[in-house]
Chain A
């Protein structure tokens, strides 16, 4: 509402600027403007053609205007085709029905500070998604519903577990240590989208929720994504990775069709594990074709050998007399993995009430209630969320307007422990669950010791996964308030001032627990860690705007000037306990030892605060309605840098040229054409407290041998850098928008290049200086990319339409310089992780590899020509491959690049009468992943991939080499010797072939059916006798099919699951939760 009135107000003001005296015969015309369904349209602009005389329709669509015979009235309204009516002598009552038009060129976007902009005036790429792309999906995380829908936007969930965190990246990653996640603006004010991970990836951070989970997808009216810097300059340094503008129904400014409208969304859905491997059922536990009921590997005898085998608990007769020494038939438990998981049910319900009291349409309100509950595919994994919100706005007769929103959400997520691991060493239900022995009937075995309820399993080095689902896990409870208050005052017809205060605060309680009786240090004696974190964002904004200042004929200027102050605080308290007293009771009172210095997460209590002040200005020039120039700039002052370095000014400029808006510029073939170019800059200020060296104090580091606490004070290994400066990011983009053939084809293309010089990184420094890291402006990175949107309306008839929306994006990032540091790891492990490496793509994965020989590898330092590429080197003693690290002692090398080459999406929607069928298909080309799951499938022999020739032998193709140096062995003829040593399947897969990290790298090109839905809407005729305005039913499925072309089919691995949590890591999979597959049925009704 606010948006519309403002827009029309601007036009009205424009008209009022120039006084024109009329001498002709005056006549007053009145009437009603309605849409094609007969509903009144308020706020329609009605202008006497070629004059500045105009008015607007009121809330009931009524208008009245003075004109004269022979003139024409132009009726225009955003989203509708304009109409022109001639005034004749007989005219007095003119009722107009306006038809909904193509909205593309007229879409109004939210600019900074609530100002509105016409799409054609923008010199940069913006994508808008409406509610229907988000609501009633089988997904509680609003961001994941956006997946694949927008070119250049990459959204990757950390796992398929319900409530797990999500990575959201626009235009690729270019920051090494800084955040690459965009700024969330909800109803005009900043919204924290952080993921408060308490531990590293070994401690289970992937299940930590990202805080946009607090938004109810059914309360979202629209999402706009600003991708580039020229779009986001005014948003300040937090907007450097793009801005996600979310308008909720409570913050809506859309015109209401009715004075009072109720909308109900309701859906039920189910969640399943998406892709289990194709398990083999021919061989069971053991090695070298001999059964061994203690082994993880499945290299034992054939099941059809009709043997008997010791029961998995045969050796635990003291606990289970019934199994004591028991022999059972050696047979496959075919569904032992599948049955561990369940089908989870979810339901969501949302009620929205919108209204506009009075007759002037100047006041509106909205109330919203949402409830979502979802069970994941893992037992004891689920989410419950309540959302309550209200919003409203009013425009007073004294030139004041007010608006405000207030939202409360309460979210609870619980999950059994899931952590990245390499089949041992971390508390996780996925430690070995996906490759348990084929003959282990997991779900029919007891999982706890009848005496002390500790975990029992067939091996002593791992917990029974069923024990973990019952007695360990994490829980997060978040109560959040966010909202805003805004006031504006019209100083004069074309000047206004507004002030807005935004508040976003939440308290997040996280709990991680494990009952006593597990076997993973430090949790063995029972463990409970609770933390309570409180986050605040206070945002003040004062904005002056001057609209449509006419500088000359056809040349106008709109400016805004403002000040922004944002304060962020986070404060956390925590406690961790070990030594549980009563089994399974999780209260710190029930534990013997407490500390705030957690053995896994470190210090649990800390605080951080930062303030950023900004002053910004923007001048937008409009020449003739077809040429637009926008100049903008912002200066920030940040509290995280020393006074002499704490400020940075960053400007931006964009140009938009729309030839089709010139007289005679458009035709039936070419409806709309826009060339655009933008240059934008932004800043990044470092995180808190990196300029001064900290001094650690630990009250009780250890107890000495007399039991006294030993307090320590020591220098941090992180060296402060008083000279640290903000970094400046620059981006240049060029683009083209076009609509062709009556808008049956529309195109949207952008190329961009972003570079960051003096990038702030956690620079590893020589440990012999006494410290190991310092924040420093040493790196330079660059990212270049292309984004393409190409939409076709293939068929359009009264009853049948086929709409095909396609998008494509490709980008390439490079680390140009690292200030003399060759490379450093920033995610994953140091011997298998993502690296910033000079001259390579950002995030390349470095690790050990199977040593190979190639002539081209030979250098002075590498006389034997060993390297990542070439022919495999084979140990002449064993016939096995040589590991670059363990055998040859070589440094790690680049073994993969996780950045995809390109991605493409096609969304096809076919509508026949009331039925609409839509499918979203995505393809990702390239991008390597390290898959620990794939390595383990090979190693453990559980899938159909290596079920053949178990009794036979293998020869690894390669060249024999010295097993310590890698030097090729030469035969009598002086030539390299081909390996012909035969080894068994067990030696091939279990002992050797997948040991080096490089052997677990795969090209992750894959095809995915992300979403398919079928919607049926009842016709008006059907609803005539009911109170309903609209009713629609939808069936929808998500993540229905995935095929990764270069990973063995039987593994069924979805390359999208990420193990290193929310952050900058990518392409690393260490057996976290596989992705999920979802189906839903939903109803939406308005009345």
Chain B
């Protein structure tokens, strides 16, 4: 009997010891996540700001290829497929959900959070506008309401545009409230509502330009827009590798060598080459060239590193002057030239300045800004070019010539001031400075203006304005894609091999078409609502 007691006691103790914990069934809250009610307004807006920057970068890569700012490999179908926008699209709608959440937090906060909400609304508007620019009709009125609309229907692109212009107006009135509660501003540093009001107005300008609404643009001339360099709408990266905070351009080209090829057509437009035919214009290098493009090698490509050599289908194959790029559509095998081919320079990714040192772009071989570059989302130079275009194309009462001149000047200043602490002189002979001089910039501007003056008719002048905007928009993929479809300019290299029809819009992301019967896939010849140009208008 004594044993029985002992045994019962031990068993009971054991059962009790772990029993209660074991039978608990309310273990539903994730201990690894915070709950929505403790989410912080600033941190939610930070999430929105980082997502937004990621979304803009996501639009950049492939559209830089097809607009020949970087090399296009093979056919357009290979570059823009049904998976191209998967990540960008998902992260855009996830950002809209966070904007909704921030609006809820604001509604529950005494006095509201007009600054936070205003900034978030601007990002939402830019993103929706760009989604329309890229794919046409997008879910809007039914988006982000899973309970009611698990498969949101498409709204016509034009309606979405209209709604976003209204949203920008709401954002402006929020920002005009002058609340003392200010967010952490990852774009301008210290928060100033005026900067954001300028962004909102400029985005309206951008939308109206696409839609060809000259009257609306005229109405914006007196508003606060991005017209000075301190209003440049850009995201600022830092040099921190952990957590990874460096420009994606730097990450892709300066950690293990260059990841992309430069486009021979773009190099030619910068007059980088050796002045030989076919497309050479002046033969005098663009003052921004050494900031835009970095050369890793002091010898030109040849033999196995130049698979196109001797093949007469190529326009350039090699442009000369040690600029290793590729022609449009070239799909030859890729040599082991990640540490040889020319790559992005110091602007805008925070890479190296080309001071004729010809170092490898793999880690520590060459001094760089360590990725502390920018994402140029909408710069003051763009605003000037946009207004110059509106003057020529939409009859807006502005002086396009002086806007062109100001645009070039702002771009030159922006780029040539970007070297930070980097040495621009020759390492061996420090008297040789490769930084652009004022004289070079003036000469450049004078040449363009002379060309502008000589051009007969608005269309010829427009071509020059767009070309200069295109050159100034290095590192921005959205504006070149839009301007090319809107105006047909600049004139770009045609494919040296079959590249297929130019994508007038992107394909819907496959993760949406697979799950949403309201979204049917389109083809590359689908034109967005504001693209009224004829089929086959550009290639």
> Who on chain A is nearest to B498 by CB?
A963
Chain B 489-501: CB-based contact to A (< 8 A → 1; otherwise 0): 0000000011111
Q: Measured between alpha carbons, how far is A821 from B360 in the docked complex, in Å? A: 48
A1026 at the interface (CB under 8 A from B): no
B83 touches A830 (CB 8 A): yes
B240 touches A765 (CB 8 A): no
Q: Measured between alpha carbons, how far is A964 from B90 in the docked complex, in Å? A: 29
Our pick among A295, A705, A706, A771 for the contact of B146 (Cβ within 8 Å) is A771
Chain B 461-477: CB-based contact to A (< 8 A → 1; otherwise 0): 00000000000000000
> Who on chain A is nearest to B140 by CB?
A768
> Who on chain B is nearest to A763 by CB?
B515
A692 touches B30 (CB 8 A): yes
Q: Measured between alpha carbons, how far is A594 from B242 in the docked complex, in Å? A: 8
Chain B 59-86: CB-based contact to A (< 8 A → 1; otherwise 0): 0000000000000001111101111001
Chain A 820-842: CB-based contact to B (< 8 A → 1; otherwise 0): 11111000001100000000000
B355 at the interface (CB under 8 A from A): no
Contacting residues, chain A, for B47 (C-beta < 8 A): 701, 712-714
**Which residues in chain A, 448-483, are within 8 Å of chain B measured between CB atoms?**
459-461
Task: Report the minimal beta-carbon distance from B494 to chain A, rounded to whole angstroms.
Answer: 14
B344 at the interface (CB under 8 A from A): no
Contacting residues, chain B, for A696 (C-beta < 8 A): 33-34
Contacting residues, chain B, for A593 (C-beta < 8 A): 241-242
A711 at the interface (CB under 8 A from B): yes
> Who on chain A is nearest to B26 by CB?
A639
Contacting residues, chain B, for A963 (C-beta < 8 A): 75, 498, 500
Q: Measured between alpha carbons, how far is A565 from B23 in the docked complex, in Å? A: 7
B96 at the interface (CB under 8 A from A): yes
Q: Measured between alpha carbons, how far is A520 from B363 in the docked complex, in Å? A: 11
B454 at the interface (CB under 8 A from A): no
Which one of A287, A607, A770 has the highest number of Cβ atoms from chain B below 10 Å of its Cβ? Answer: A770
Q: Given A287-B333, A499-B15, A768-B512, is A889 in contact with B245 using a C-beta cutoff of 8 Å? A: no
A567 touches B30 (CB 8 A): no
A768 touches B144 (CB 8 A): yes
Q: Which of A204-212, A616-624, A715-723 contacts B (4 or more CB under 8 A)?
A: A715-723
Our pick among B27, B30, B33, B333 for the contact of A990 (Cβ within 8 Å) is B333
A639 touches B28 (CB 8 A): yes
Task: Report the minimal beta-carbon distance from A285 to chain B, rounded to whole angstroms.
Answer: 10
B422 at the interface (CB under 8 A from A): no
Our pick among A638, A710, A768 for the contact of B25 (Cβ within 8 Å) is A638
A785 at the interface (CB under 8 A from B): no
Q: Measured between alpha carbons, how far is A704 from B189 in the docked complex, in Å? A: 9
Interface size on A, residues (CB 8 A): 107
Q: Given A294-B304, A521-B251, A701-B243, is A485 in contact with B256 using a C-beta cutoff of 8 Å? A: no
B44 at the interface (CB under 8 A from A): yes
Q: Measured between alpha carbons, how far is A963 from B304 in the docked complex, in Å? A: 27
B150 at the interface (CB under 8 A from A): yes
**Which residues in chain B, 155-189, are within 8 Å of chain A measured between CB atoms?**
184, 186, 189
Q: Measured between alpha carbons, how far is A943 from B139 in the docked complex, in Å? A: 52
A771 touches B46 (CB 8 A): no
**Which residues in chain A, 126-165, are within 8 Å of chain B measured between CB atoms?**
none
Q: Measured between alpha carbons, how far is A770 from B244 in the docked complex, in Å? A: 25
Contacting residues, chain A, for B335 (C-beta < 8 A): 294-295
Q: Given A824-B514, A887-B77, is A714 in contact with B242 using a C-beta cutoff of 8 Å? A: no
Interface size on B, residues (CB 8 A): 108
A695 at the interface (CB under 8 A from B): yes
Task: Report the minimal beta-carbon distance from B168 to chain A, rounded to whole angstroms.
Answer: 21
Our pick among B19, B98, B152, B511 for the contact of A540 (Cβ within 8 Å) is B19
A115 at the interface (CB under 8 A from B): no
Contacting residues, chain A, for B519 (C-beta < 8 A): 766, 768
B22 touches A599 (CB 8 A): no
A170 at the interface (CB under 8 A from B): no
> Who on chain A is nearest to B36 by CB?
A695
B18 touches A567 (CB 8 A): yes
**Which residues in chain B, 194-239, are within 8 Å of chain A measured between CB atoms?**
236-238
A222 at the interface (CB under 8 A from B): no
Task: Report the minimal beta-carbon distance from B175 to chain A, rounded to whole angstroms.
Answer: 21
Which one of A400, A702, A822, A823 has the highest number of Cβ atoms from chain B below 10 Å of its Cβ? Answer: A702
Inter-chain contact total with CB atoms closer than 8 Å: 303
A538 at the interface (CB under 8 A from B): yes
B25 touches A639 (CB 8 A): yes
Our pick among B32, B236, B512, B514 for the contact of A705 (Cβ within 8 Å) is B236
A1083 at the interface (CB under 8 A from B): no
Task: Report the minimal beta-carbon distance from A844 to chain B, rounded to whole angstroms.
Answer: 15
B89 at the interface (CB under 8 A from A): yes
Contacting residues, chain B, for A666 (C-beta < 8 A): none
Our pick among A524, A606, A770 for the contact of B143 (Cβ within 8 Å) is A770
A609 at the interface (CB under 8 A from B): yes
Task: Report the minimal beta-carbon distance from A857 to chain B, rounded to whole angstroms.
Answer: 18
> Who on chain A is nearest to B85 by CB?
A767
A19 at the interface (CB under 8 A from B): no
B46 touches A712 (CB 8 A): yes
Q: Given A714-B51, A885-B81, is A519 in contact with B362 using a C-beta cutoff of 8 Å? A: yes
B43 at the interface (CB under 8 A from A): yes
> Who on chain B is nearest to A691 by CB?
B28
Our pick among B27, B360, B516, B524 for the contact of A889 (Cβ within 8 Å) is B524
Q: Given A694-B33, A702-B50, is A525 in contact with B241 using a C-beta cutoff of 8 Å? A: yes
A766 touches B151 (CB 8 A): yes
A701 touches B24 (CB 8 A): no
Task: Report the minimal beta-carbon distance from B219 to chain A, rounded to whole angstroms.
Answer: 32
A639 touches B33 (CB 8 A): no
Q: Given A705-B237, A770-B146, is A461 in contact with B256 using a C-beta cutoff of 8 Å? A: yes
Task: Report the minimal beta-carbon distance from A405 to chain B, rounded to whole angstroms.
Answer: 15
Q: Measured between alpha carbons, how far is A642 from B26 in the docked complex, in Å? A: 8
B30 touches A710 (CB 8 A): no
Which one of B30, B332, B497, B519 has the highest number of Cβ atoms from chain A below 10 Å of its Cβ? Answer: B30
Our pick among A461, A522, A706, A821 for the contact of B336 (Cβ within 8 Å) is A461
Q: Measured between alpha carbons, how far is A640 from B29 in the docked complex, in Å? A: 9
> Who on chain A is nearest to B510 by CB?
A891
B191 at the interface (CB under 8 A from A): no
A694 touches B516 (CB 8 A): no
A768 touches B339 (CB 8 A): no
Task: Report the minimal beta-carbon distance from B129 to chain A, rounded to whole angstroms.
Answer: 16
B351 at the interface (CB under 8 A from A): no
Our pick among B78, B149, B237 for the contact of A887 (Cβ within 8 Å) is B78
A610 at the interface (CB under 8 A from B): yes
Q: Measured between alpha carbons, how far is A213 from B192 in the docked complex, in Å? A: 61
B96 touches A294 (CB 8 A): no
Q: Given A460-B338, A692-B29, is A769 in contact with B14 using a C-beta cutoff of 8 Å? A: no
A400 touches B338 (CB 8 A): no
A201 at the interface (CB under 8 A from B): no
Contacting residues, chain A, for B90 (C-beta < 8 A): 717, 767, 772
Task: Report the minimal beta-carbon distance from B349 to chain A, rounded to whole angstroms.
Answer: 14
Q: Measured between alpha carbons, how far is A877 from B518 in the docked complex, in Å? A: 39
Q: Measured between alpha carbons, how far is A703 from B22 in the docked complex, in Å? A: 43
Task: Report the minimal beta-carbon distance from B76 to chain A, rounded to whole angstroms.
Answer: 8
Instruction: Provide a sorted-by-A list of 24 A–B residue pairs whose CB atoms are within 8 angstroms.
Output: A287-B333, A402-B7, A524-B255, A540-B15, A579-B242, A607-B31, A611-B23, A613-B25, A639-B28, A646-B25, A691-B28, A701-B47, A701-B50, A711-B42, A711-B43, A714-B48, A717-B90, A766-B515, A767-B509, A768-B89, A770-B97, A820-B517, A885-B77, A886-B75
Since A286-B304, A693-B36 are in contact, a sample of 18 more A-B pairs with Cβ atoms closer than 8 Å, ordered by chain A residue number, is A398-B3, A460-B336, A460-B338, A460-B360, A461-B257, A524-B363, A540-B19, A599-B244, A638-B25, A692-B30, A701-B50, A703-B245, A707-B240, A710-B46, A713-B40, A715-B97, A771-B94, A886-B78
Residue positions of B touching A, CB distance < 8 A: 3-4, 7, 11, 14-15, 18-19, 21-36, 39-40, 42-44, 46-48, 50-51, 74-78, 80-83, 86, 89-90, 93-94, 96-98, 100-101, 138-139, 143-146, 149-152, 184, 186, 189, 236-238, 240-245, 251, 255-257, 303-304, 332-333, 335-336, 338-339, 360, 362-363, 372, 497-501, 507, 509-512, 514-517, 519, 521, 524
